[in-house]
């Protein structure tokens, strides 16, 4: 079974029951046990973002060693600062829409991307390459697919109210 917990208390219960190996996703609010957010996929951008401040991101240090936050961006100011072992959470601001590369200069293998979106209509592909965008407004919409090495591809799609529109993308090197 693959479990996703959308409630901090549910995450705690799943850990207490020893079901954490079946837990694949938690929310950004699931802070108990502290390892939950670093060991599992953190789901953001759901319909309820009431607990989030737009443009703010929490960067966690869960292993208690020195790291460094280094972002590469053009629209947002770049960040380059140390995250000492005692700094469990650092809150940074990324307010302008763009794809921001983030690395740790202490550990060359630590690299990620942060997608700052101007709207809540996005999805992340799963292991089968499928992404879902929920509650997209009806009408003619443009979908943009982004991949860190393959770049961007866009397609137009007609979204009908109450129906699912399917669009296939193929990206090549
Ligand atoms: Cu590091």
User: What pLDDT does 106 receive?
Assistant: 94
Beta-carbon contacts of 148 under 8 Å, excluding residues fewer than 6 positions away, are 113
**Alpha-carbon gap, residue 147 to 140, rounded angstroms:** 23
User: What pLDDT does 42 receive?
Assistant: 73
Q: How far is the CA of 27 from the centre of ligand 1 (A)?
A: 23
Give the distance, in angstroms, between the CA of residue 24 and the centroid of all CA atoms in the same chain: 14
| % of the chain at pLDDT higher than 70 | 93
Q: How far is the CA of 83 from the centre of ligand 1 (A)?
A: 9
List domains and CATH numbers for the chain. 1-49 (3.40.50.1980), 53-120 (2.60.40.420), 121-173 (no CATH)
Q: How far is the CA of 111 from the centre of ligand 1 (A)?
A: 9
Q: How far is the CA of 124 from the centre of ligand 1 (A)?
A: 24
Question: Is residue 54's pLDDT more than 80?
Answer: no
Give the distance, in angstroms, between the CA of residue 53 and the centroid of all CA atoms in the same chain: 15
Per-chain mean pLDDT for the chain: 87
Question: Is residue 155's pLDDT more than 90?
Answer: yes
130 band by pLDDT with thresholds 50, 70 and 90: very high
User: What pLDDT does 49 receive?
Assistant: 47
Q: How far is the CA of 68 from the centre of ligand 1 (A)?
A: 6
Q: How far is the CA of 59 from the centre of ligand 1 (A)?
A: 12
Q: How far is the CA of 66 from the centre of ligand 1 (A)?
A: 6
**Alpha-carbon gap, residue 34 to 72, rounded angstroms:** 28
Q: Using CA of residue 19, residue 20, residue 23, residue 28, what is the dihedral sign? A: positive
User: What pLDDT does 73 receive?
Assistant: 94
CB 4 within 8 A of CB 24: yes
pTM above 0.75, yes or no: no
Between 141 and 11, whose confidence is greater?
141
Mean pLDDT of 78-92: 93
User: What pLDDT does 55 receive?
Assistant: 81
Q: How far is the CA of 72 from the centre of ligand 1 (A)?
A: 16
**Alpha-carbon gap, residue 33 to 145, rounded angstroms:** 34
Q: How far is the CA of 168 from the centre of ligand 1 (A)?
A: 36
Q: How far is the CA of 147 from the centre of ligand 1 (A)?
A: 23
Q: How far is the CA of 46 from the centre of ligand 1 (A)?
A: 28
44 band by pLDDT with thresholds 50, 70 and 90: low
User: What pLDDT does 43 receive?
Assistant: 65
């Amino acid at each position: 079974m693959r479990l996703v917990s959308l409630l901090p208390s549910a995450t705690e219960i799943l850990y207490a029951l020893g079901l954490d190996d079946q837990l694949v996703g938690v929310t950004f609010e699931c802070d108990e046990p502290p390892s939950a957010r670093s060991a599992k996929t953190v789901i953001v951008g759901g319909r309820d973002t009431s607990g989030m401040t737009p443009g703010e991101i929490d960067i966690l240090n869960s292993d208690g060693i020195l790291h460094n936050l280094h972002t590469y961006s053009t629209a947002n100011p770049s960040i380059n600062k140390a995250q000492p072992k005692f700094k469990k959470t650092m809150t940074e601001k990324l307010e302008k829409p763009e794809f921001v590369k983030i690395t740790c200069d202490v550990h060359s293998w630590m690299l990620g991307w942060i997608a700052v979106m101007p709207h809540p209509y996005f999805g992340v592909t799963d292991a089968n390459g499928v992404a879902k965008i929920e509650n997209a407004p009806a009408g003619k919409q443009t979908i943009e697919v982004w991949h860190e090495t393959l770049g961007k591809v866009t397609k137009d799609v007609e979204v009908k109210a109450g129906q699912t529109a399917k669009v296939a993308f193929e990206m090549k090197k």
